[in-house]
Structure formats: structure tokens, C-alpha cells
Structure 1
Amino acid sequence: MDEPKPDNNQLNNAIEVAKSKTRSQARQLWQIVVKYSKIDALADTSQKSYQAPDRQQEHSSVVLTILSIIPYVLGLTFILSFLWDFNDISATVWGYSLQFEGLLKIVSVSGLIGFFTNWLAITMLFKPAKKRPLLGHGLIPAQKDRIAYRLAQAVSEDLINPEIIKQKINDSNIISIYRKRSTRYIKNIIDDPAFREELKQWVVSYLDEMIADPEIRGALAQRILRQIEDAVHDKSFEKVALKAYSYIKGQEMQHIIEEALADIPTSVESGLDKLDGLLDTLPQKINANSETIENTITTLLYKLINQLDVHKLVEENLREYDEQHISDIIKNATNEQLRYIQYLGAVLGLIGGLVIWEPLLSVIILSLGFLMLLTIDYLLHRRFYQ
């Protein structure tokens, strides 16, 4: 049986053609699957929707509004002090002499200094966003890279690390849940008669397109012929029988094999009813091998998690933010508290001005007021928080 030796170039060309046709047919198969997919079957209807927590209202908007007025009042008081400032006014209380002259200027200047000092300190946290020759650089923008590193370190070590992710996967049993859901999803697709019909048509079309191509058919015939030759290499009788069969047919053995291959699509089409039985048993086979499937998915998922560098991922993403973006993130989360600190500076400065005006009397009054505040806070806490 002296058949022509296979041409490696021809075989390689046939392989490339087969790959191209397979990719095209795979796209068609995917379109069929998508057409009959019921994606709702995989949806997690019990999944919670997460909303941003409400801003902590430690101080009511009314209090904040009142505090915001204080700097303007202090500014007007400072202007008024140049026109009138308790000139030559004094009083005696319980034998204690009080001199009111200059009081407006003292409390207004002290209050404004307290307000602008806090305002400047908070502003210097965020501004300038870009480094300036004389004004310098805001603290947070200047430390952007360090902040990114520290945040990434905190996230990767304490919030999202491979061990925590693995523990959450185990505790949630999520792989088993989605394996069962995927099985139901597959069953919904393959139980559709129209899907089965299109799938059968696709199988026949795929085989027909592959076998109809002369290069592919010739390469398959060569491969089969080589396997036959290897099988009968040491068997004289079988070799003689094959030569005799080829002589009787009046064709080379490769041509005989190619003719047989050409009949494959017709033969497959007549036996495609068995595909229904295979599809019917597919969900049961998946369930029967559920443990193996879940273990395999878990192993692959763990390998992926171990290769995930959370620290690098978070740090690189944060470094890509510009300085203004990082400042805005922090400001948006703390804006109300920062405003409160600014206005509180004005109040504390005003109190400081009173201490400068009359140190002993102011300290006594402030101490009594502070003790009263602590007492009221303690009573309210016991009444409403315990």
C-alpha cells in the first residue's frame, strides 16, 4: 500500500483553515446560546443594594447656621469699635470694678483671629492643590503618594486580603450556590425545543463546512491513513487485504477515506436524535460531579486570589488621582465638621478675648459654665443613651 506521504505544509494550511472555520462556527454557536439565554435565571434576586450611610449630624443645621453668623457679627463689631467702644463706661458689681472701654475691640479681634486661624489651618490641608513658589503646597496634595501607600497598606492588610476573601467565599458557600444556579440556567436553555433544533442544525452545518473543504478533508484523510499504516505495519495479512481492497475499488486508499469522510454529515444528521438524550442527561451529570466541579472552581479561584496584589492595585489607582481629586474626596466626607471647626474657632477666640479683658472673672464664669455643661451632658446621656 504505497500511498503518498503527507505534505507538512499542506497539513499546516489545513489546520489554519480549520481553526478559522471553527472560530466562525463558535461565534455562531454563541449567538444561538445568547438567543435562548434566560439571564434572569442567574440573577441573584436576594442581593442587597448598598447605599451610602447618612452623614453623621452631630450638630444640627440650625446650630451650624447660627455659628456661621458669628464671624460676620465679629467683623461688624470690629468696625463699630472704631466709632464707639464703651468709651469711659465702667461699673461696679459686688464691689468689683469693671472697665468696659475697649471691650468690643478685644473680643472682636480675638474672635476673628480664632476664626481665621482655623480657616487658614483647614485651607492649608487642601490648598494649594499644585505646588506654588511662595504659597507652598497643601498638606494632603503634597503627601498624595504617602496617603496612597498608607491607604493601600491598610486595605490590603486589614480589609481585603487573600485570606479574608477566601474566608468569605467559604462562609457564603457562594460557589455551590452559583453552581446550582448555573445548572438551572443551563437546563432552561437546553429544554427549549427551538434551541435543540438550532443546535442540531449548527452541528450539521459545522461538520458539512469542515468536511466540504478539500484541504481539511485531505488532511484528515492523510492523518487517518497514517494511523492505518502504523496499525498494520507489522501485519502482513492486513496490509495485503488493504491493497486488495484498494485495487478492487480502483482508487488510492486516501481517496477512499475522503469519500467516506464526505458522508459523515449525512450520517450524523440521521443520528442527531441521540443528541436529545445527551442534553436530557446533562444536568444530572453536572449534579453527579458537583463536588469535583466546585473543588476545581475553588482551586482556580484561590490561585487567582493569591496572584491578586491588592496593595499594588489600590496604590496604583490612588496615584492616578490628581491632587485635587483626593482633596475633594476627603473634603466631601468631612465638609460639615470642617465648617464647624472654623466657626468654633471664632467662638473660642471670642471667649479668649473676654479672658484678656477680665481674666479672673472670666475664668470663674467659664469654669462654672463648663461644669454646668458637663452635668447636663451626663444627665442627658444617662436618660437617653443607657
Structure 2
Amino acid sequence: MSEQSFEDNSDTNRALQVAKEKTREKARILWQMLVKYSKFDQLSASSEPDIKAPPRQQRHSSTVLTLLSLFPWVLLLTFFSSFFWDFNGLAVAPYGYTLPFEGLLRIISVSGLIGFFTNWLAITMLFKPAQKRPILGHGLIPAQKNRIAYRLAQAVSEDLINPEIIKQKISESGIISRYREQSTRYIKSIIDDPVFREDLKGWVVSYIDEMIANPEIRGAIAQRILRQIEEAVQDKSFEKVALKTYSFVKGQQMQHIIEEALVQIPVSVESGLDKLDSLLDRLPETIDDNSESIEDIVTTLLYKLVNQLNVHKLVEENLRSYDEQHISNIIRNATNEQLRYIQYLGAVLGCIGGFIIWEPLLSISVLGTIFLVILALDQLLFQQSQWH
């Protein structure tokens, strides 16, 4: 490479660096100007309704739960009372069938308490101990935290928010179209402001003027133009002679002539800025005319973005970052009421088991009859609700 070419490249690189710095500075000014005239409240206003958490599905009233919570205490009181009186010596013989009641209170209370405590223990062992203990071991859910995180992440990534479902929902919701229309109105509200247009024109003139006024940038531009001219007339002898003749007549090098012409660009641009108004006037219409293409592009970009996200990994890593107690609390808070029902119903079922222990044949007959009646009544009510 010749010394002249090296110097030319050095000058060009220096001019390019200066141009980048000025462009960044002007870009900051342009952004500040856009923020000044922006109406972000219009853009952020969403027509989507607020999403509220669905109400908890309560199969039973709070009164029933309160009554059930008292049942274990009643059983405990009955158990202690059985040490003082438990139908002592009481028995009946209907139709010649002897029913001894002595010991019934203790059988029922112990069976009910066993049912309650076994359910309580089973539910407690799901969540506690949160930290592994030498003797007590580890709760089932905390011990399987990593496996639970993996399974939940798999379910989410495959069935809930996989890219295909998101693409389908984007298409069905029409959200891209709504936001495109909203953005168009938002842009129109800015560009229709005459003060904004004047500031924008001033910014354009200032940007070009500062670029051309810098001798390094102007020289680099002139040098590039001259090089392109020379390449264009390289095989054209007449044009080449004409350029040299013009330079001789002017008494200047061609590069200086080009630089002088470049100095006039800001004036020419300023006089032609009226065309910017017509361009801004047509901008919303141009966006509307190309709405389908814009929406297709945005949808494709969103799809590619989601498709590149590893949803499984993202969800799993977040769940793994929770400690064991936090995972347990998430599950327990979502099912706390149902778990309490299970505990108390354990006491009720234990009492039923106590009756079966006390008198198997009679208890099974009575309980079977009650169960069939409840089943038939439930089916009848269900059919009536279907008819209505």
C-alpha cells in the first residue's frame, strides 16, 4: 500500500469516528425531542380488561368447615369421658338380637382420633420436615423439589406456553392489529404537532450542517465522491479529459470543488424541507396500507423470539432457585382448605370404622343403605340441574 493510500485510509477512519460521535450525540438529542412530544399515557392505555384471580371454588360453607374442626376435640373429650362412663352394663335386645353398648364410646372415639391423626400425619409428612433431619427424614415435597420443578417445567413448556400455542393465541387475539392501530394513532398525534415538525426540521438541518461543517468529515465525503467519479469515467476518455479541463479552468483540484459543493448542501436541504411535511402527512396512511405486512413481520419476530426461549429451562431454574419451604408453601397455600377437609373427614370416617368394629353386620347394612340413598339423591339432583 502506498504512503498516500495509507494517509487517505487514516483520514477516512478518523473522519468516520468523528461522524459516529456526532451521530450518537444527535441521536440523543432526537430521542429527547421525541420524549418531549410523546404522549406515553395514550400508548400505554390498554383496552384489555384487568385479569383477576378466579374465586376459590368452595364445595362447602365455612360453617361446615368450622363444625368439622370441632369434631376431633369432641372425640378427644369423649375418649377421656369413656374412662368414667361408657354405657356401663347397658345392652338392648331388639327382635332377640343383643346389642351391647358398653365400650362403644371408647371404640368410636379412638377410631375417630386414629382416622384424624393418620390423615394429619400423612399431610404433614408431605411438607415437613422442610430440611432433611437425621431421624425424622425429609418431607415428600421438599425431598422431591428438583423432580417437581422438572415436571412442572415440562408441563408448562409442552402444554401451556409452547411456541405453537403462543403463535395461535397471538393470531386469535388480534393483539398485533390492535397495537398497530394504537401505535399509528400515537404517531399521528406526534407528527401533527406543528411545533414538533419545526423542531424536527431544525434537527435535520443542524445534523447535516454540523456534519458538513467538519473539515475531516467533509474531506472524507468529497474523497469518496471523487473516487466514485474516477471509477465511473475510468474507461471513458472524453469524460476524463472534461473533468481535468474543468479543474484546470477553475484553478482548483476536483476534491476542493466537491467540498465547496458540499458546503451548500445544508442550504439546499433547508429549502427543500417542505417535502418533509408531505412525507409526515403520508406516514400514517403508508403504515395502514402496509398493515398486513407489518403485522406478519411482528408476528414472525415474536414467534422467533419465543421459539428461541427455552421455556422449560427458564421455569425449572426459577423453581429450583426456591428453597424447600417456599415450594411447600406454594402447594400448601393453593390446597390448604381441601387439606383441612381431608384431616377432619378422617375423623368422621374413623368414627364410621368404629361402628363397624363394634357391630360389623348391622353397621355395614345401615351404612350401605345410607350410601345408596345419598348416591340416588345426588343423581336425581344432577339430572334436574341438567334439564334446567
Contact 1:36 1:195 in 2 (8 A): yes
**What residue is the counterpart of 2:183 in the other structure?**
182
* CA distance, structure 1, for counterparts of residue 29 and residue 69 of structure 2: 67
**What residue is the counterpart of 2:146 in the other structure?**
145
Q: How does 1:255-274 map onto structure 2 within 5 Å?
A: 255-274=256-275
Structure 2 letter corresponding to 1:150: R
> Could you tell me the percent identity over the aligned residues?
72
* CA distance, structure 2, for counterparts of residue 338 and residue 190 of structure 1: 60
* CA distance, structure 2, for counterparts of residue 28 and residue 257 of structure 1: 30
* CA distance, structure 1, for counterparts of residue 37 and residue 349 of structure 2: 71
Count how many residue pairs are aligned between Structure 1 and Structure 2: 384
* CA distance, structure 2, for counterparts of residue 290 and residue 368 of structure 1: 69
**What residue is the counterpart of 1:16 in the other structure?**
17
**What residue is the counterpart of 1:112 in the other structure?**
113
TM-superposed deviation, 1:248: 4.5
SS of equivalent residue, structure 2 residue 74:
helix
Contact 1:41 1:184 in 2 (8 A): no
Contact 1:110 1:352 in 2 (8 A): yes
- State the superposition RMSD in angstroms: 2.5
Q: How does 1:59-74 map onto structure 2 within 5 Å?
A: 59-74=60-75
* CA distance, structure 1, for counterparts of residue 277 and residue 149 of structure 2: 57
TM-score (norm 1): 0.89
TM-superposed deviation, 1:337: 0.7
TM-superposed deviation, 1:69: 0.2
Structure 1 letter corresponding to 2:218: R
Q: Deviations for 1:266-324, whole angstroms, at most 9, x for unmatched residues?
A: 33222212211111122222233334333333333333343233333333332233222
**What residue is the counterpart of 2:293 in the other structure?**
292
* CA distance, structure 2, for counterparts of residue 366 and residue 294 of structure 1: 65
Kindly indicate whether residue 101 of structure 2 is the aligned counterpart of residue 100 of structure 1: yes
* CA distance, structure 1, for counterparts of residue 61 and residue 292 of structure 2: 57
* CA distance, structure 1, for counterparts of residue 147 and residue 172 of structure 2: 35
Kindly indicate whether residue 326 of structure 2 is the aligned counterpart of residue 306 of structure 1: no
TM-superposed deviation, 1:45: 4.5
* CA distance, structure 1, for counterparts of residue 375 and residue 232 of structure 2: 99
SS of equivalent residue, structure 2 residue 98:
strand
Structure 1 letter corresponding to 2:117: F
Q: How does 1:1-386 map onto structure 2 within 5 Å?
A: 7-43=8-44, 45-386=46-387
CA, structure 1 residues 98+295, in 2 after alignment: closer, same or farther (shift >3 Å)? Answer: closer
Q: Deviations for 1:318-363, whole angstroms, at most 9, x for unmatched residues?
A: 2233222222222122111110000000111112122222223322
CA, structure 1 residues 375+303, in 2 after alignment: closer, same or farther (shift >3 Å)? Answer: closer
TM-superposed deviation, 1:31: 2.1
SS of equivalent residue, structure 1 residue 87:
coil
TM-superposed deviation, 1:237: 4.1
TM-superposed deviation, 1:169: 2.8
* CA distance, structure 1, for counterparts of residue 368 and residue 292 of structure 2: 72
